[in-house]
């Protein structure tokens, strides 16, 4: 993909997150790997006015988050950079304050295997990354730990983050994680859901290989 097509896809992804109710205003951010660099959404720009030329381009090996472009990168550039550096299986990262994920994140409730679709995230539990202030290296370190062997996690008192092999898959995972959070919240209100076994989730992940849904989290 060219730099130009990545930027166009990122704008479309921002609009889709907004239209799907997964993001609001300037909260949330997206990054996409481009060789030794990443393109990342600008800080403090609402998705209804975002444009391809506003994306910041930053080296993945730059410890200081230096960037090219008219706008500074998202304040969350550290965890985007660190996920892309740590995970060769992930080329696109989506972070939002999606409502149902955030409800569980403020309650610090990991999502257990109450639906077989959790297998698409690489294992039987979606963890909650420990709290640290937005934009910090501590938050990034906590997210990397919570995403071990997983394609996504909740972020305590903040929101959620997912990563996929491409932006289309990362967007799909964002919607699936919000659906799981929605289902789990409502199951809790009627006494909690029945939790599938680890073997049942492994069996589902194997089934996905021939169905077309890649189970992730190979790190």
* Displacement of CA 67 from its chain's centroid (Å): 22
Phi, psi of 187 (to 5 degrees): -60, -40
Q: Which entry of 18, 76, 176, 178 is annotated as an active-site residue?
A: 76
Instruction: Find the angle CA(170)-CA(109)-CA(159) to the nearest 5 degrees.
Output: 40
Task: Let me know: does 145 contact 82? Beta carbons within 8 Å.
Answer: no
Report, in Å, the least distance between residue 40 CB and ligand 13P.
8
Size of the site for ligand 13P (CB under 6 A): 10
- Let me know if 76 is a catalytic residue: yes
Residue 26 lies near ligand 13P (rule: CB under 6 A)? yes
Residue 151 lies near ligand 13P (rule: CB under 6 A)? no
Instruction: Find the angle CA(51)-CA(135)-CA(47) to the nearest 5 degrees.
Output: 20
Residue 65 lies near ligand 13P (rule: CB under 6 A)? no
Q: Which helix (H) or strand (E) holds 187?
A: helix 167-189
Residues of this chain, 112-141, that bind ligand 13P according to CB under 6 A:
134
Report the distance separating Cα 46 and Cα 29, nearest Å. 10
Whichever of 76 and 178 has its CB closer to ligand 13P, that residue is 76
Residue 31 lies near ligand 13P (rule: CB under 6 A)? no
Report, in Å, the least distance between residue 181 CB and ligand 13P.
17
Whichever of 44 and 88 has its CB closer to ligand 13P, that residue is 44
Tokens 């959404």 identify what position? Answer: 41
Report the distance separating Cα 146 and Cα 134, nearest Å. 16
Whichever of 4 and 44 has its CB closer to ligand 13P, that residue is 44
Report the distance separating Cα 46 and Cα 68, nearest Å. 20
Report, in Å, the least distance between residue 191 CB and ligand 13P.
33
**Interface residues toward ligand 13P, by CB under 6 A:** 26-29, 43-44, 74-76, 134
Catalytic positions? 76
């Amino acid at each position: 993909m060219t730099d130009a097509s990545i930027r166009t896809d990122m704008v479309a992804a921002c609009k889709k997150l907004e239209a799907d109710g997964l993001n609001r205003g300037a909260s949330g951010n997206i990054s996409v790997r481009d060789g030794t660099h990443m393109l990342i959404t600008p800080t403090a720009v609402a998705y209804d006015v975002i444009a391809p030329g506003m994306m910041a381009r930053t080296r993945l090996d730059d410890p200081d988050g230096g960037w090219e472009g008219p706008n500074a990168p998202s304040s969350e550039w550290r965890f985007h950079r660190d996920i892309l550096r740590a995970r060769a299986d992930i080329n696109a990262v989506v972070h939002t304050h999606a409502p149902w994920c955030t409800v569980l994140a403020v309650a610090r409730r990991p999502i257990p295997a109450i639906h077989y679709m959790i297998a698409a995230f690489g294992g039987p539990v979606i963890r909650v990354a420990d709290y640290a202030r937005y934009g910090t290296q501590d938050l990034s370190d906590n997210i990397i730990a919570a995403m071990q062997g997983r394609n996504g996690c909740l972020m305590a008192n903040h929101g959620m983050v997912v990563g996929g092999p491409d932006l289309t898959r990362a967007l799909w995972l964002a919607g699936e994680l919000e659906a799981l959070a929605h289902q789990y919240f409502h199951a809790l209100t009627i006494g909690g859901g029945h939790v599938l076994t680890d073997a049942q989730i492994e069996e589902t992940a194997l089934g996905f290989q021939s169905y077309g849904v890649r189970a992730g989290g190979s790190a």
